[in-house]
Structure 1
Amino acid sequence: MENSRRKFLKQGLLGMLAVGASSLPFQSVIAENPSNPSKKRKKKINAQRVVLLSLDGICVEGFRKARTPHLDSLLVQGTLSLETRVVMPSVTLPNWTSHLTGSGPELHGVVDNGWEINKFKLPAIETDADGYYPSVFEVLKEHKPDLKTAFYYNWANLIYPYNKKYLDEISFLENDAYVPNIEKAFSFIKNNRNSPSLVFLYSVHTDHTGHKHKWMSPEYIRSIEEADVEIGKFLEKMKSEGLTEDTHFLFLTDHGGINYGHGGVSEDEMIVPWGITGPGIKGGMTMQEPNNTVNTAAVILHLFGVEKPLCWTGEVPESLFK
């Protein structure tokens, strides 16, 4: 009975988003196509802060089934995609690198989970003086030196593709721990409330649960629900400090899964949820434009009013914006 109720509630949320999407005239989507010369440029948003709520290994079916009231209530205020494609291979490091560098593995060169600055199979097409492909943190710091950046993670390899000198705060936790990083992220945001900021808040425990117990297992679903509880506490603290109204939140993941793993090209591995909410973002919408993980960094730069590097291939889906 409880599972049926959860499914009903989640389908209700998705139904609300679908209704919102259906209210958008087809002509307006066409008009927002960047190739349409009559398209009006969007007003600059000038974001104050962007927070990336990042859970590893979330498949669409798992997101639908899990009871996630806090993510649901957040995302219903913005735009949600349930058809975002990840890059190949559908494994962790290439995809998070693609999220945060606006490019696929064929450009940034992170083609597997074993990439290190002096250990790689394919060189990046462009690097900074230290050998790193330009990340969203680096580009923002170069254009907005006063902007604060933070990177919270619990899978050791995740930090490798990014030049740490462009990160103001870094926190790594062992053994899949993640709650202390959520608390650190809140403190960082609160202490830098008057400065623009970009916060990457990540946990791998959902992916590891899938590997251990199987994707869509009760344990896997529970791991998503447990993360939602902690995200809810974080959002409540943000609200109590008056920090939510001028914050853009993105809900991100890197791949789905099937049975005990991922890395293939099945829909369960290659198609994931992706969501955004905040000032200037359309609310109650299901995203109709094609979307890919390489677009994330381009969207973040757009929120801060910064042009993307020429070497990036990610695009800004115009239908996200009011």
Structure 2
Amino acid sequence: MLHNLRSLTLAATALVALATPAFAEPSRHVIIIGVDGMSTDGVRTARTPVMHEMMKTGSSSLHARGVLPTTSAANWASILNGAGPEQHGVTKNDWQVGDFNFPTSVTGSGGFFPSLFQIVTDQHPEWEVGSIYQWDGFGNLYDHRFVDYDVNPKTEDETASLAADYIRRKKPNLLFIHLDHVDHVGHADGHGTPQYYQAVEKADRLIGLIRQATVDAGIDKDTTILVTSDHGGVGKGHGGESLAELEIPWIAYGHGIRAGRDVDQPINTFDTPATVARLLGVKIPYAWLGRPVALALEGEPAPDQVYRTSSFYAMPVIEPVNAGNSPSGGLFVNKGATLTIRNPNPAGEVRYTLDNSTPTATSTLYSKPVAITRSTIVRAALFVDGKPASVPTTGYFRLVQDTPAAPKGVTWHAYALPEGTARLPDFNRLSPIASGHAYEFSLDGLTLPQTDNVAVVFEGDLDIVTAGSYGFILASDDGSKLYIDGRTVVDNDGDHGVVSANGSADLTPGKHRLRVEYFNGGGGSWLGAYYQGPGVARQFIDANRLTPVK
């Protein structure tokens, strides 16, 4: 280790720090285990006895949040740097130091934002610090000169094995372990699949092996272990702005941690390094935005929480539940539907509306299934002791009447793309490889020859009844564009997770030609097209108002 460099860095770098109040005897060893792509649903649903035992005897939250964008690099950098992308500058997975859209707000060593590794080593150059990471992109996020043991294994088993061996040999004061296999399975098979839960179960076993190594080393009584993730996921992807992608597990266990505490306190991912710093008794730099998670720490005064966390209770589940990013409800052609609502919480009651309004304490109490006979936007929320206890959830029931005399929907054509495509192509240069009919601007129900490196063009005529300004929204993974009468109205192009873009157009009564272009380079894929306007609440573009292009 270059201790001379560290001493010089400490002397040259003015760390404006917050004083560390005494709360409990500092930990001598802190281990962070980051499981890439491990969602809160994964921890809840999979068989995870190790993590659940750590939650029972430690402090935890299944409502911690990452940062936007919900990409790996942006979130792991936030866990290392105690601040969000706006400060540390890491916004994409291919980020490299010196190659950024904007510079870091403050500079640590080597052009990096001051990381947890740096502040620990600056203040305690004699300490042993390690980083063992399966995803090689993790290694781009920090100055390696502040780490004694720095290794990039190829598999999760090798990662855990090397970590356990390192703990037994060196008894590190700070160790970061990154496991990547859950994210791989999420992309390959999808979040919420049996394969995904099996991957989470394997992560649980590996966490158990790492924890056992602290016992073998004789340091378990002086060690704190933090288990967390960078993001969740939807379908086979992440990078979007849904709660399923943003919410992450946060588990603190061992020395200095309150036992049996379900942390009802907002936790951001950049609070993790601040908590580690407090546990180790090192000063927190002023440039960090993160705060120690007070409710998890023994002896730490509880914060005065005037406002409660909005997602402490899970949202009601509207059924039918659709896969991936598709919302609850669904498309029903020439038939009715049945609405059921499930309360996943042990307490409270569910109230709902059928007119797109936000549920209140006087809204209809759900007690039995409800027949849906026309297109309906359902909103439901949990109430405990007469007060809102969850954020509302929404279901879109789209009932379409289609006949040969009055066909509804749109036509579509699919095109093969070269590998590595990152933007929509020039379709005039391509020939379709498949064609068909759909009721919505959606991938649901389409039989495509391939799922990666593919583009789809939808066309249909939208019948407008009332003149006025209409808003259009495209949500897609990857890119998409929407044209009305040949004019670009929404541009959501590019290689990204499920993100939304919007535009507006003044439309007269009558039919207007809609064209939606979409592509998927690889990984997750989804497309949703919404509109709103005079007398039209925000909803999927109504198939009853669409006519296929012949």
TM-score, normalised via structure 1 length: 0.83
CA shift at 1:292, angstroms? Answer: 0.4
- How big is each residue's C-alpha offset from its partner over 1:20-55, in whole Å with a ceiling of 9 and x where there is no partner? xxxxxxxxxxxxxxxxxxxxx552432110011110
* Greater gyration radius: 2
The whole-number CA distance in structure 2 between the counterparts of 1:198 and 1:234 is 14
Secondary structure at 1:82 match in 2: strand
Residue aligning to 2:202: 226
CA shift at 1:242, angstroms? Answer: 2.4
After the TM superposition, list the runs of 4 or more consecutive aligned residues in structure 1 that deviate by more than 4 angstroms: none
Secondary structure at 1:190 match in 2: helix
Sequence identity of aligned pairs in percent? Answer: 32
Question: Is 1:182–1:234's contact at 8 Å kept on the other side of the alignment?
Answer: yes
Residue aligning to 1:157: 137
Question: Is 2:229–2:248's contact at 8 Å kept on the other side of the alignment?
Answer: yes
Question: Is 1:133–1:161's contact at 8 Å kept on the other side of the alignment?
Answer: no
The whole-number CA distance in structure 2 between the counterparts of 1:260 and 1:181 is 24
Residue aligning to 1:52: 32
Residue aligning to 1:29: none
Residue aligning to 2:146: 166
Residue correspondence of structure 1 range 123-162 to structure 2 within 5 A? 123-162=103-142
Residue aligning to 2:165: 187
Secondary structure at 2:221 match in 1: coil
Question: Is 1:94–1:112's contact at 8 Å kept on the other side of the alignment?
Answer: yes
Larger helix fraction of residues: 1
| 1:292 lines up with 2:268 in the alignment | yes
* Residue identity matched to 1:78: G
The whole-number CA distance in structure 2 between the counterparts of 1:278 and 1:237 is 14
The whole-number CA distance in structure 1 between the counterparts of 2:212 and 2:284 is 33
CA shift at 1:129, angstroms? Answer: 4.2
The whole-number CA distance in structure 2 between the counterparts of 1:243 and 1:78 is 17
* Residue identity matched to 2:251: G
1 or 2 for the larger relative contact order (CA 8 Å, sep ≥6)? 1
| 1:206 lines up with 2:178 in the alignment | no
Residue correspondence of structure 1 range 25-44 to structure 2 within 5 A? 42-44=22-24
Structure 1: segments with no counterpart, 5+ residues:
1-40
**Equivalent residue in structure 2 for 1:73, among 53, 56, 67:** 53
* Residue identity matched to 1:181: T
The whole-number CA distance in structure 2 between the counterparts of 1:201 and 1:240 is 18
Question: Is 2:27–2:224's contact at 8 Å kept on the other side of the alignment?
Answer: yes
Question: Is 1:250–1:274's contact at 8 Å kept on the other side of the alignment?
Answer: yes
Larger strand fraction of residues: 2
CA shift at 1:236, angstroms? Answer: 2.6
Residue aligning to 2:544: none
The whole-number CA distance in structure 2 between the counterparts of 1:102 and 1:235 is 25
Structure 2: segments with no counterpart, 5+ residues:
1-20, 299-550
Secondary structure at 1:76 match in 2: helix
Question: Is 2:267–2:293's contact at 8 Å kept on the other side of the alignment?
Answer: yes
Secondary structure at 1:234 match in 2: helix
Residue aligning to 1:62: 42
**Equivalent residue in structure 1 for 2:233, among 251, 257, 277:** 257
**Equivalent residue in structure 2 for 1:116, among 96, 105, 116:** 96
The whole-number CA distance in structure 1 between the counterparts of 2:109 and 2:42 is 41
Question: Is 1:60–1:273's contact at 8 Å kept on the other side of the alignment?
Answer: yes
Residue aligning to 1:104: 84
CA RMSD of aligned residues (A): 1.5
- How big is each residue's C-alpha offset from its partner over 1:127-165, in whole Å with a ceiling of 9 and x where there is no partner? 134111100000000001111111111111111120000
CA shift at 1:235, angstroms? Answer: 2.3
TM-score, normalised via structure 2 length: 0.49
Question: Is 1:91–1:112's contact at 8 Å kept on the other side of the alignment?
Answer: yes
Q: What is the aligned residue count?
A: 279
CA shift at 1:222, angstroms? Answer: 0.5
CA shift at 1:75, angstroms? Answer: 2.6
Secondary structure at 1:113 match in 2: coil
The whole-number CA distance in structure 2 between the counterparts of 1:269 and 1:117 is 26
Structure 1 residues 145 and 44: CA distance shift in structure 2, 3 A? farther
- How big is each residue's C-alpha offset from its partner over 1:78-100, in whole Å with a ceiling of 9 and x where there is no partner? 10111101110011000011011
* Residue identity matched to 2:209: K
Residue aligning to 1:306: 282
Question: Is 1:109–1:121's contact at 8 Å kept on the other side of the alignment?
Answer: yes
Question: Is 1:56–1:202's contact at 8 Å kept on the other side of the alignment?
Answer: yes
Residue aligning to 2:219: 243
Residue aligning to 1:317: 293
The whole-number CA distance in structure 2 between the counterparts of 1:233 and 1:173 is 17
Structure 1 residues 129 and 214: CA distance shift in structure 2, 3 A? closer
* Residue identity matched to 2:182: T
The whole-number CA distance in structure 2 between the counterparts of 1:103 and 1:146 is 26
Residue aligning to 2:66: 86
